[in-house]
Chains A and B, each alone.
Chain A
Amino acid sequence: EPEVTQTPSHQVTQMGQEVILRCVPISNHLYFYWYRQILGQKVEFLVSFYNNEISEKSEIFDDQFSVERPDGSNFTLKIRSTKLEDSAMYFCASSEARGLGNTIYFGEGSWLTVV
């Protein structure tokens, strides 16, 4: 069964460093997303991406964050100058379409620890 894959599964980084989280969405999907889950809190929407541009972003997704689809398969989340509060599980997701009833498929997550 097709799946969303994410790398790395776990990364430890020092505060102030840049981090890139990588994702390979399901191949025929057109919409891509990043969500995050801070330990003990709800899963939160960060950003959605379609047709090589951001379609929507939450208030969490500030200038510290950026997304990119550098080639035909990868979808990356870059976090510049990481802060302690960026420590979270980051989920990449993709869907065939948008709208009512469309299913978003999630990857296994990348656990980021900022020290």
Chain B
Amino acid sequence: AQSVTQLDSHVSVSEGTPVLLRCNYSSSYSPSLFWYVQHPNKGLQLLLKYTSAATLVKGINGFEAEFKKSETSFHLTKPSAHMSDAAEYFCVVSGYNNNDMRFGAGTRLTVKP
């Protein structure tokens, strides 16, 4: 069985400051890990994914995430927040079968001017 835990339901940062959204996973085998973003009234957009290649994964809009097996973590970071980053972010773990995609509860990112 696999699961993800997003450690913060809500993160608030000021524009121009770093963003850290935390995700821990549990999986009985080597997982694939994803971050999706959902802007208000929009669908789920893929930010980045990890599939057992480089442990530091770069995504769109300046986001990146680092896979740390020893810590079972896949935290999402961005050096400098932009107002347009305000959205809901979902960490997702997937196994061999895409049906096994398990979503975290989501983290709402607020960016203050």
Instruction: Indicate which residue in B41, B44, B94, B104 contacts A100 across the interface (CB closer than 8 Å).
Output: B94
Interface size on A, residues (CB 8 A): 29
> Which among B11-19, B46-54, B66-74, B75-83 touches the partner chain?
B46-54
Instruction: Indicate which residue in A9, A42, A99, A108 contacts B98 across the interface (CB closer than 8 Å).
Output: A99
Query: Does A75 touch B at the CB level, under 8 Å?
Result: no
B residues within 8 A CB of A9?
Answer: 41
Cα separation A4 to B45 with both chains bound (whole Å): 11
Binary A-proximity of B36-48 (CB < 8 A = 1, otherwise 0)? 1000011111100
Q: Which of B34, B44, B103 has the most CB of A within 10 A?
A: B44
A31-B43 in contact (CB<8A): no
Q: Given contacts A100-B95, A100-B96, are A106 and B32 in contact (CB under 8 A)? A: no
B residues within 8 A CB of A95?
Answer: 98
Number of A-B contacts (CB under 8 A): 60
Binary A-proximity of B8-35 (CB < 8 A = 1, otherwise 0)? 0000000000000000000000101010
Q: Given contacts A42-B104, A103-B34, are A109 and B43 in contact (CB under 8 A)? A: yes
Instruction: Indicate which residue in B96, B101, B105 contacts A104 across the interface (CB closer than 8 Å).
Output: B101
Cα separation A63 to B104 with both chains bound (whole Å): 27
Instruction: Indicate which residue in B52, B99, B105 contacts A101 across the interface (CB closer than 8 Å).
Output: B52
Cα separation A31 to B46 with both chains bound (whole Å): 17
Query: Does B61 touch A at the CB level, under 8 Å?
Result: no
B105-A102 in contact (CB<8A): no
Determine how close the nearest CB of chain A comes to the CB of B40; give it in whole angstroms.
Answer: 11
Query: Does B84 touch A at the CB level, under 8 Å?
Result: no
- CB-CB nearest in chain A for B103: A43
Q: Given contacts A42-B105, A45-B99, A48-B99, are A101 and B49 in contact (CB under 8 A)? A: yes
- CB-CB nearest in chain B for A97: B98
Determine how close the nearest CB of chain A comes to the CB of B41; give it in whole angstroms.
Answer: 8
Instruction: Indicate which residue in B44, B46, B97, B104 contacts A98 across the interface (CB closer than 8 Å).
Output: B97
A-B contacts besides A33-B98, A98-B98, 7 pairs, CB < 8 Å: A42-B105, A56-B97, A98-B97, A100-B52, A103-B34, A104-B98, A107-B43
